[in-house]
Structure 1
Amino acid sequence: MITTRPAIAIRSLRRIPYHRFHSSVPRLTTDFAFVFDIDGVLIRGKKPILQAKPALELLNQHKVPYILMTNGGGVLEKTKADEVNEITGVVPPISPLQVVQSHTPIKALALNHGFNRVLVIGGDGDNARTVAGTYGFTDIIMPIDIVNAIPSVSPHHRFTAEDFAKYAKPIDLTKPVDAILVLNDPRDMNTDIQIVQDLLNSQNGLIGTARNTHHIRDLSEPSIPIIFSNNDYLYANDYNLPRFGQGAFRIITEKLYKMTNKLKKHQTLQSFILGKPFKIQYDFAHHVLIDWRHKLINDEIMSHHQILPKLGVEPVETPFKKIYMVGDNPASDIKGANDNGWESVLLKTGVYKDADYDTMVAKPTVGIFNNVEDAVIKILESHNVKV
């Protein structure tokens, strides 16, 4: 369930016609587009899925718009695009403006967030701080900053002296934290669990304090909002079994919060969740896809400018009759596409296994394919595109 704290509730949910963003959009010969998951579809960990390169280059050849949408993150969109380009070798290379990571919609949130200080969680080194800064936040702290200032806050932390010297920043502990942004899977789970729980139960986000709960009517509402950038419990890499993702961290966070505040059985921590399969992520990706189509039409694929909608705005006047979501995870890729009116395509190169078919939460509308190239060819042929 997605819940929002009033301070961060998305208020601009009214539908806004796309011509508000582009007054005149020439028509392409195609009225369909593709959205690809990354891990388990194009790559597995740091290894390529061999059919990814010919599949994407086939779309490039026919100028069919496509973007990548992943529940991964923790790095800049350019970094992710560069990684996929290097691993797959696709030509021409994928643009950063074609990449929607789980936390990419926070770009839009940052425009009107009203937060002064944010705590960012997840990713390697200080990547999360870099990402948040690029999005527009100016006062950004990380758990390592707090541990550096107060080592006893996490007595079993795994940070080294080199980590502190390289990544930690001095912080003013008297300034409260306004929100927690979980941008990627935690790297020091114990430290992040402890600090997140401290702040959720603090006195208005002030580090080292505990709120007085006697006069709080609804204890499911934390002291400060927490935003999880995705809810994936499992994901695929180059290991032969799925690995735990950020969704596992959310489950732990909710369970500990429930126990700490003695919430009733039906109550849970109020949080805000981005990523697949939620509508807010698909609406945002739809806008990005429309914007990329516009760039294809006008030969602006080298542009660094991207038109961002307000978070929660659904495109109304879309040029696409069909959008094909190609993924490997029934619980995120397939369910999200089905719930949001997109066509769904399931691949066998990632999380999904044939043994899962009878129990998976959502079935693909197009079908199940051995790999991404097979899927792309079949769909192009259905649209009378010669391949």
Structure 2
Amino acid sequence: MAARRCLVDWLVTAAPSVPLRMKPRHFVAGDRRGIAISARNCAYSPVGTKSKPSSCAIRPQKQRRQFSAPTSPAQSSVPPFAFAFDIDGVLLHVSEPIPGAAAALRHLHRYNIPFILLTNGGGRYEADRVVDLQRRLGLDLKSSGHIISQHDLESEGSLPVLSTANFVQSHTPFQELLDDAAGLDAATAGGKEGSGGLRDETILVTGSDAARIRTIAEQYGFSSVITPADILAAYPAIYPFDPLLKSVYADTARPLPKPLLLEGGKLASQPSAKPFSPSDLDDSKYLRIAAAFVFNDPRDWALDIQILTDVLQARCGFLGTFDPASLSAEGLPKSEGGTRLFFSNSDLLWATTYHLPRFGQGAFAAAVAGVWSQLASTEQPPLLSPQSGRATLLGKPHAATYRFAERTLLRYRASLLEAHGSKASSATKEAPLQTVYMIGDNPESDIAGANQFSSAHGTDWCSVLVETGVYDPARDGSNPDYLRHRPRAIVGDVGAAVRWALQREGWPADF
């Protein structure tokens, strides 16, 4: 018996570069139940698909925690899988780290396993948010207590655990519109040929702090950015309820780059002037808004809804004009150059320290769409529907965000492998990304998005649900619609999720 044990130990240590493909086991993580599906190809069918229902069932297993112990893959090997993590409810709970989150990320980084953070949150510049997350998760501290900079880590031949290269928040995809206005509509990077970009066009931005949002947009590279405060300060009559003009908006307003083209009515600078003609649409003289971006939850809904609906009704984006065709049954065709709206997040509700959910940006988007439905023809497609062509919804579960996330993950995977040798980098051509484990706490966004996403590269997005956030296991089963979007696995927390995925892939899970 002793000789046999020695022989097994020798075989394990002698072949460290060959991962053992072992069947993942059910486990219990900490004091939370762990539930996993053992069959590799077993998956739940997303709601609304024509695929046959899976024969698998998620059932709790009451047994002690067990882990397979594969040998360590060589550092130069190319992982055929990667991870995408939600933040709130997965890595953090009310800004405090969830136990095991930092250890899981460090373990993936140690083995050069690519991952990104994919959140519907926003409102801050990505670099600032990454620094804050590093601090909260304890990923940036050396023994001296100083923050480890990305430059320092890269100079040592390693990428940091977290950086802007593997971080995607709700409005990060807006950057793709700098040079390609159709970038977010395309299934693959590059968009449509000749679509142009918005880098040098005037854009309108809003959010919880419009002044800070303007700065973020400028840091992205947009050269001409205006806010509702700028418009209100220049034309107070555009919103006749102005008790907040001096106390709130005056301090953040900037002069508009160009005046508005006031078409007809008592606001026209020259009421007796000649009738409006298409030749008046001159963006070298008058302000034209090419696109409007909602970065995060606005505060002054009334002002923002007024200005956004004005922009939607304007001729070719010239605020101050009115195009009757915008309200017709067909609406404005894309060829007319009307302003497009981009909402970075469609979450109707979100969890805070208050005991009941609060309205999110999705509620504001619904309010804009509701007002528009009262103005436009009843035969016109709803504003937020893909058929309207006027508004784009981003954030999980929408496909545009998952397309952007996959492109980001592929770029990060290549840079991560390149940082560890050209051999690993060149191997990516022969080892495509097969699986992305989407670990989230919200069935309606994280899980639904992963289940419904169809990768242009054939990558399988495997959904894993944790119990540390929105999902409430006590309510599962009480209502058949509560968990409409079934995950591949339900586990207690993020550490358990990563262990389940690593065991499924035959990689070390000893953290």
Q: Same fold (TM over 0.5)?
A: yes
Per the alignment, residue 307 of structure 1 pairs with none
Cα distance, 1:84 vs. partner?
A: 1.5
Letter aligned with residue 323 of structure 2: R
- Tell me which moved more, 159-168 or 54-63: 159-168
Q: Which residue of 313, 316, 325 maps to 1:201?
A: 313
1:361 maps to 2:484: yes
State the secondary structure of the residue aligned to 1:105. helix
Partner of 1:138 in structure 2?
A: 223
Structure 1 residues 40-79: aligned runs within 5 Å: 40-79=89-128
1:5 is matched with none
Q: 1:214: Cα distance to partner?
A: 9.0
Deviation at 1:279, TM superposition (A): 2.1
Q: 1:298 to 1:146 in 2, by over 3 A?
A: same
**Is 1:349 matched with 2:458?**
no
**Residues 39, 236 of structure 1: 8 Å contact kept:** no
SS of the residue aligned with 2:123?
coil
Q: Secondary structure at the match of 2:370?
A: helix
Q: CA 1:215 to 1:328, structure 2 compared with 1: closer, same or farther past 3 Å?
A: closer
SS of residue matched to 1:250: helix
- How much has 1:386 moved relative to structure 2? 4.0
Q: Aligned to 2:213, which of 106, 125, 128?
A: 128
Give yes or no for contact 2:229–2:250 (8 Å, CA) kept in 1.
no
Identity %: 37
Distance between the aligned counterparts of 2:347 and 2:433, measured in 1? Answer: 28
Supply the AA of the counterpart residue of 2:484.
V
Which residue of 2 is the match for residue 289 of structure 1?
Answer: 409
Q: Give 1:95 deviation, angstroms.
A: 0.3
Equivalent residues of 2:467, 2:490 under 8 A apart: yes
Higher alpha-carbon Rg? 2
Cα distance, 1:49 vs structure 2: 2.3
Work out the CA distance in 2 between the residues paired with 1:246 and 1:352: 20
Q: Equivalent residue of 2:170, what SS?
A: coil
Distance 1:157 1:99, change over 3 A: farther
How many residues align? The count is 347
TM-score by length of 1: 0.81
Q: Deviations over 1:129-181 (max 9, x none)?
A: 12222222211111111122223433446746464454211102321212111
Q: Which amino acid aligns with 1:253?
A: V
Q: Distance in 1 between matches of 2:105 and 2:353?
A: 21
Alignment of 1:155-174 (within 5 A): 155-156=240-241, 159=244, 161=246, 163-164=248-249, 166-171=251-256, 172-174=258-260
Given the superposition, is the C-alpha separation of residues 204 and 125 from structure 1 closer, same or farther in structure 2, using an over 3 Å criterion?
A: closer
Provide the residue aligned with 1:101 in structure 2. Answer: 169
Is the 1:220–1:263 contact (alpha carbons within 8 Å) kept by the matching residues of 2?
no
SS in 2 for 1:60: helix
The question of whether the paired residues in 2 share the 8 Å contact of 1:53 and 1:89 is answered with yes
Where do residues 209-358 of structure 1 align in structure 2 (5 Å cutoff)?
209-213=321-325, 216=328, 218-219=330-331, 223-264=338-379, 267-269=381-383, 270=388, 271-299=391-419, 319-340=432-453, 341-354=460-473, 355-356=475-476, 358=480
| Residue 299 of structure 1: how far off its partner (Å) | 2.2
Q: Take 2:216 and 2:96, find their aligned partners in 1: how far apart are those partners?
A: 24
Give the Cα–Cα distance (whole angstroms) in 1 for the partners of residues 326 and 444 of structure 2.
39
Compared CA separation, residues 49 and 157, structure 1 to 2 (3 A): farther
Structure 1 unmatched ranges of 5 or more: 1-25, 301-315
Q: Which moved more, 1:246-255 or 1:86-95?
A: 86-95
- CA 1:220–1:211 in structure 2 vs 1: closer, same or farther (change >3 Å)? closer
Residue 110 of structure 1: aligned partner:
178
1:198-229 per-residue CA deviation (whole Å, 9 max, x = no partner) reads: 21122332333332349956137694211222
2:490 is paired with a residue whose SS is: strand
Shift of 1:349: 1.8
Residues 217 and 162 (structure 1), Cα distance of their counterparts in 2 relative to 1, 3 Å cut:
closer
Q: CA deviation at 1:33?
A: 0.8
Distance in 2 between the 1:378 and 1:82 partners? 29
Give the deviation of 1:34 after TM superposition: 0.5
Mean Cα deviation higher: 369-378 or 45-54: 45-54
| TM-score normalised by L of structure 2 | 0.62
Query: Relative to 1, partners in 2 of residues 1:287 and 1:146: Cα closer, same or farther, differing over 3 Å?
Result: same
**Other structure's SS at 1:227 match:** strand
**Inter-partner Cα distance in structure 1 for 2:132 and 2:211:** 18
Read off the aligned partner of 2:403 and give its amino acid letter: D
In 1, the alpha carbon distance for the partners of 2:351 and 2:498 equals 21
Residue 80 of structure 2: aligned partner: 31
C-alpha distance in 2, partners of 1:252/1:215?
Answer: 17
1:39-75 residue CA offsets vs partner (Å, 9 max, x unmatched): 2211234333233222212222222111011112222
The aligned residue for residue 24 of structure 2 is none
CA contact (8 A) 2:82 2:433 kept: yes
Q: Given the superposition, is the C-alpha separation of residues 162 and 213 from structure 1 closer, same or farther in structure 2, using an over 3 Å criterion?
A: same
Q: Is the 8 A contact 1:230 1:273 kept in 2?
A: yes
* Pair 318,217 (structure 1): closer, same or farther in 2 beyond 3 Å: farther
Q: Tell me, in whole angstroms, the C-alpha distance in 2 between the residues paired with 1:299 and 1:214.
A: 52
Report the alpha carbon displacement of residue 247 of structure 1 after superposing the two structures with TM. 1.2
CA deviation map 1:321-357 (0-9, x unaligned): 2110011111111011111230001112222222155
Alpha-carbon distance between aligned partners in 2 of 1:46 and 1:214, rounded to the nearest angstrom: 44
